[in-house]
A and B are shown apart, each in its own frame.
Chain A
Amino acid sequence: MSATPRKRFGRQGKERVLVTPEGISLPVTVAGRGARLGALILDLIIIFVLMVGTTIALVQIAGGAAQFGQASQAKGAAAQALQFLMIVWIVVMFLFRNAYFLFFELGPRGATPGKRMTGIRIAARDGGRLTAEMVIARNLLRDIEMFLPIPLIMMAGVDSGMAWLAAAGWFGIFMLFPLFNRDGLRAGDVIAGSWVLERPRQKLQAAMTTSEAPAAERFMFRFEDHELAVYGEFELQALERVLREDRADSLDTVYQTIAAKIGRNDGWGAEQRFLSDYYTQLRARLEAGMRMGRRKADKHSSL
């Protein structure tokens, strides 16, 4: 696949190739650190809101139960109800802290609400199935990455000096961990063998080279082989982009360039048609070459 000359701008350095169990190599994009940080912050806000909300709700219910106990003299029942609420609170807090990420990442979407909003998701680094073990492993590590140092920092306070420095340093090491490896892996990702990828979105665009017209009328312009031989796949794809954008000024510029290069000037006034005919015939020529095992990457290649 290495021969495929595909260029996407501004995304260099994050593209990886992943081999699926079927042996298909898939280009994937590692999620940006900004998107991941955003997702984490969103999730933490959601967890915080859920925790506060549950606590308030339970306190309200507890207040009700206590009043009921005073009114009806049924102290035993009210005490039991309060105890039960206390247990619910402890268990729910534990679950929010430990099971929130697990629950969403184990779902079919492989992403927490925060990740979904920022358009990223987790996947297995080896191209295989994302297993429950991976999700559990990567999320248990959150404990030393965030849930341990953050309360320590808050409890210690800046004035306590060394303890605060130690906690902040700890926190910093784990937060900066993704900056120091090329796939942006968290400590949890290292342990689990997972990574975070961008969720691709791409609509199928209309085919440009299909035509209902009979072969004889299909082209207004016909190009000789030597006229097509000057360009390669890179220029073909640049031309495809220009044609899809369909903006008069860029069409005109490209027409001028190509016409000058191949020494023709008969496309005046029908640049769009000239270029699309040129595109179709160039693509046909290059694809025919591909089938013979010859590829011409760009205009500097010798084929």
Chain B
Amino acid sequence: MNALSNAAIEIAALRSDRFRLEREADWQRLESIVVRMEKGRLRGISDEDLLALPGLYRTLASSLSIARETSLDAATLAYLESLVQRAWFVVYGPRSSLWEWLRGFLGGGWSAAVRGIAFEIAVALLVMVAGTVVGWLLVAHDQEWYYAIVGRDMAGNRVPGASVEALRGTIFGNAEKDGMSVFAAQLFSNNAQVSILAFALGFALGIPSLLLLVHNLAGLGAMGWLYWKAGLLTDFAGWISIHGTTELFAILLSGAAGLHIGRAIAFPGNRPVLTATAEAGRRSALVMTGVVLMLVVAALLEGFARQLVDQTPGRFAVGGFMLLLWCAYFFAYRGRAGR
């Protein structure tokens, strides 16, 4: 132990402090940038400082590594650790440009995320078809089911036993109706909430998401049966398709996104369950952002286009075009391969 002479001690006593004094100015410059960013005053930061930030951060991080191995100055260490953490928050915080994110999202990020949950989409589609068939068959078997599935409020004039004319009236001739834009906004708000719910319920292993899909589509099947009885099935399909290809697609995606999370929780594979869930969650979140956009489109179609196009072939044309558009975007468009 006597190898450490007094002279060596004196040199050493200086060394960790010299280290600190040499770098202190850089640390303080970084701190002042970080403080301004934390306060949200991005405009007050010069370009020079902004460019220097990543470099300063890396220098600071290496200072911390060195200090941990060579310095016992607890105050300096604590300061460095907290400053590295604050700078890390800033450097690795959310990207400041929403616009840039949106470009990546529309330019391939969204469609890639949708392709990433293709399996769940297939399952959800199956469940939706099954739901429609079940709804149809139940009501065909016993008309009382109609009220249980569709609900009296929703049904309005569209009840079993209604005249063909009354049913035709619900499909055609609403062009002059007022308040369609309010209707569209309400539709959007409701549908978006339902789809968010379908997604969020994926947390319970995805089962409630599927039940929600079955319930919604059973209503469609029941109504389909009603119009079929009146000989209006084609017209009903046209009435649904103009916005339905978009809206049902969006609901399909939200159910699939919820299922994707449920599957990651139940069957994480070789990865830790938290990692698998987080990965699935981020992919599903991208899908869901798209779903909300699709529902805006669907609400506009339902609120306006359906009233303006008052004939079945035209409605099919618009609906079919939308379906083609979505399918092409999701499954054919690759965007920037990097994402």
Contact = CB atoms under 8 A, between A and B. Distances in A.
Q: At the interface, is chain A mostly helix, strand, loop or mixed?
A: helix
B182 A124 contact: no
A22 B57 CA distance: 10
Interface in B286-312: 286, 288-289
Nearest to B39: A109
B30 to A, nearest CB: 11
Interface stretch (A52-60, A87-95, A250-258): A87-95
Interface stretch (A41-49, A63-71, A138-146, A159-167): A138-146
Contact of A143 (B70, B101, B196, B280): B196
A243 to B, nearest CB: 10
Given A83-B181, A106-B94, A205 B75 contact: yes
Contact of B196 (A4, A140, A187): A140
A225 interface: yes
Interface in B62-91: 64-65, 68-79, 81-86, 88-90
A289 B8 CA distance: 11
A132 interface: yes
B231 to A, nearest CB: 36
Nearest to A87: B185
A19 B68 CA distance: 15
A14 interface: no
Nearest to B187: A90
B327 interface: no
B24 A193 contact: no
A98 B74 CA distance: 44
Contact of A107 (B31, B94, B181, B196): B94
A284 B92 contact: no
Contacts of A210: 17, 21
B215 interface: no
B189 A94 contact: yes
Contacts of A290: 69-70, 72
Contact of B193 (A143, A187, A244): A143
Contacts of B73: 207-209, 240, 283
A126 B89 CA distance: 13
B236 interface: no
A301 interface: no
B195 to A, nearest CB: 10
Q: Assign chain B's interface to a size class.
A: 35 or more
B13 A136 contact: no
B185 A106 contact: no
Contacts of A79: 178
A281 interface: yes
Contact of A190 (B27, B89, B278): B278
Contacts of B13: 209, 280-281, 283-284, 287
A288 B94 CA distance: 42
Given A204-B24, A237-B72, A290-B72, A190 B274 contact: yes
Interface stretch (B131-139, B198-206, B217-225, B244-252): B198-206
Interface string B82-118: 1111101110111110100100000000000000000
B47 interface: no
Nearest to A284: B13
B4 A285 contact: yes
Interface string A248-289: 000000000000000000000000000000001101111111
B144 interface: no
Contacts of B6: 222
Contacts of B178: 79, 83
Interface string A1-32: 10010100000000000001110101110000
Contacts of B21: 207, 210
Interface in A204-249: 204-205, 207-210, 215, 218, 222, 225-226, 229, 233, 236-237, 240-241, 244
A24 B84 contact: yes
Interface in A64-120: 79, 83-84, 86-87, 90-91, 93-94, 98, 105-110
A121 interface: yes
A240 B68 CA distance: 17
B281 A233 contact: no
- Of B64, B68, B86, B96, chain A has the most CB atoms within 10 Å of the CB of B68
A59 to B, nearest CB: 15
Interface in A181-219: 187, 190-193, 199-205, 207-210, 215, 218
Contact of B88 (A20, A90, A140, A286): A20
Interface in B10-59: 10, 12-13, 15-17, 20-21, 24, 27-28, 31, 37-38, 40, 42, 58
B10 A123 contact: no
A87 B283 CA distance: 31
Interface of B: 1-2, 4, 6, 8-10, 12-13, 15-17, 20-21, 24, 27-28, 31, 37-38, 40, 42, 58, 61, 64-65, 68-79, 81-86, 88-90, 92-96, 98, 101, 178-179, 181-182, 185-186, 188-189, 192-193, 196-197, 199-201, 203, 261, 274-275, 277-286, 288-289
In the A-B complex, the 6 residue pairs with the smallest Cβ-Cβ separation, listed nearest first, are A193-B278, A191-B281, A284-B13, A137-B285, A200-B82, A202-B82
Given A123-B89, A131-B95, A204-B28, 11 more contacts: A109-B37, A132-B95, A133-B281, A136-B285, A144-B200, A193-B279, A200-B85, A200-B86, A204-B75, A240-B74, A280-B13
Interface of A: 1, 4, 6, 20-22, 24, 26-28, 79, 83-84, 86-87, 90-91, 93-94, 98, 105-110, 121, 123-125, 127-138, 140-141, 143-144, 148, 187, 190-193, 199-205, 207-210, 215, 218, 222, 225-226, 229, 233, 236-237, 240-241, 244, 280-281, 283-291
